[in-house]
Amino acid sequence: MIDKQKIIGLIPAKAIGCLTVEDNLIIQSYLDEGNEFPWDELANYQYTAALLPLALQLEIPEPSLKDNVALKLIKLTEEQLAKKIREEEQLTLNKMEEETNTFSDDNLLLDESAEHQVPAEESETSTSFNLDEIDLPEADAPEPFILESESEQEQESDNFLSKENPDNTFSVDETDLLQETIFTEEPIVTNVSEETPIVNNEESKISSEQTTEEKIIEENVETEKFSTTDLSPQVEEKRTIDKSVANSKFGEIQKKTQNEKIFKALEQELDLLKSGFTESEKKLTRNLLMAYVAIAILLALLIFSYFKFTADIKALEKEVNDVKRNTTSELMEKKIIESNFYFLS
């Protein structure tokens, strides 16, 4: 059981980020035990720790740095994209290999059954037919993107750039958008004023006694004087060289990525054309069928109307004949009547 007071004693160092590994483990196990953690204490110290850089003389970064940040993000996105494509292609290759494996297995089975019919030598040659041995063209697979030019230190610091981000949903469009937006912006306008006059508040003495330890420290201060880490000129030189190499490599990577993009786009276009062709072929067949049906219907209609018209004509002819016959008999009758009339008158 860890004492809470001990944990509280570790909080300032935790907030400022200078806990020893052992103390860190103590805090971790205290948390793991499910004890009540002094979050408010930690909050107070973290708040204070975050304010410390405000005491420094403010420095504004170069405006070009904003472009570099944008470039870095774009580079990262492209790397992730390339990685994704590589993985997809690897998957497809694996699938193809699996398919070829199953195909060769089938062949083996077929050959085994055919062994009884063919001579032994021939059967041997056919069983050795293994598609695994066929080298698939590697030219299609994009070369891995490896930034080998960065200096060791830089590589280490940039390592996370090469990792895949599980939640990252960058798309090419997004990259373009980012590039477009970040590069076209006007120079940095900050809300932080460059020279805030520092008011030296007089005697705000904090009650902290000058202990003997402090004297020792002050002695050390004189000898050490806030020494910051300076790198040797060789390292500096190496970095400059590495940077130029990195720049050229970056150009190469960009070229490769572009080539890859073009290749992908061509592939997509080809797929589109293929699907378009199949679609139009289907349409054509459907239209042809429709045309055949229409022609058949028309033919049927023609035949039907031919027979109908013939029947109608015959009926009409018959009617005409009837009418003719009737009129002749009527006329004969009329003549007889008329002659009778004249005779009587």
Partner 1 sequence: METELTDNELIERVINKDSKSLEVLYDKYSPILFTLIKKIVSDKEKAEIVLADVFVIIWQKSYLYNLATNNLYAWLILLTRNKSIDFIKRVRGEINDDYNDEYEDNFIIPKISPEISPLEIDKAVDKRGTIYSAVNSLTEAQQYVLSLAYYEGLNESEIAAKLNIPLPTIKTKLRVVLNSIKDFQQKEG
Residue closer to partner 1 (CB basis): 43 or 241: 43
Residue closer to partner 1 (CB basis): 54 or 109: 54
Q: Is residue 43 part of the contact set for partner 1 (CB under 8 A)?
A: yes
Select from 91-99, 108-116, 227-235, 309-317 the region that touches partner 1 (CB under 8 A). Answer: 227-235
Q: Is residue 190 part of the contact set for partner 1 (CB under 8 A)?
A: yes
Q: Is residue 234 part of the contact set for partner 1 (CB under 8 A)?
A: no
Give 241-284 as a DSSP string. Answer: HHHHHHHHHHHHHHHHHHHHHHHHHHHHHHHHHHHHHHHHHHHH
Cβ 229 to partner 1, closest distance in Å? Answer: 5
User: Are 238 and 153 contacting, i.e. CB atoms less than 8 angstroms apart?
Assistant: no
DSSP state letter for 203: T
Instruction: For Cα atoms 178, 183, 185, give the angle at the middle one, nearest 5 degrees.
Output: 105
Q: Interface residues for partner 1 in 198-217 (CB under 8 A)?
A: 198-201, 204-206, 208, 210-211, 213-217
Of the candidates 65, 74, 255, 63, the one whose C-alpha atom is nearest the C-alpha of residue 181 is 74
Residue closer to partner 1 (CB basis): 44 or 123: 44
Cβ 260 to partner 1, closest distance in Å? Answer: 22
Q: What is the spatial distance between Cα 243 and Cα 235, in angstroms, rounded to a whole number?
A: 12
Question: Helix, strand, coil: what percent of the chain each, to 5?
Answer: 75, 0, 25
Q: Count CB-CB contacts under 10 A for residue 319.
A: 10
Q: Is residue 174 part of the contact set for partner 1 (CB under 8 A)?
A: yes
Q: Interface residues for partner 1 in 64-123 (CB under 8 A)?
A: 65-66, 68-69, 72-73, 76
Cβ 47 to partner 1, closest distance in Å? Answer: 6
Q: Interface residues for partner 1 in 133-172 (CB under 8 A)?
A: 153-154, 156-161, 163, 165, 167-170
Q: Is residue 250 part of the contact set for partner 1 (CB under 8 A)?
A: no
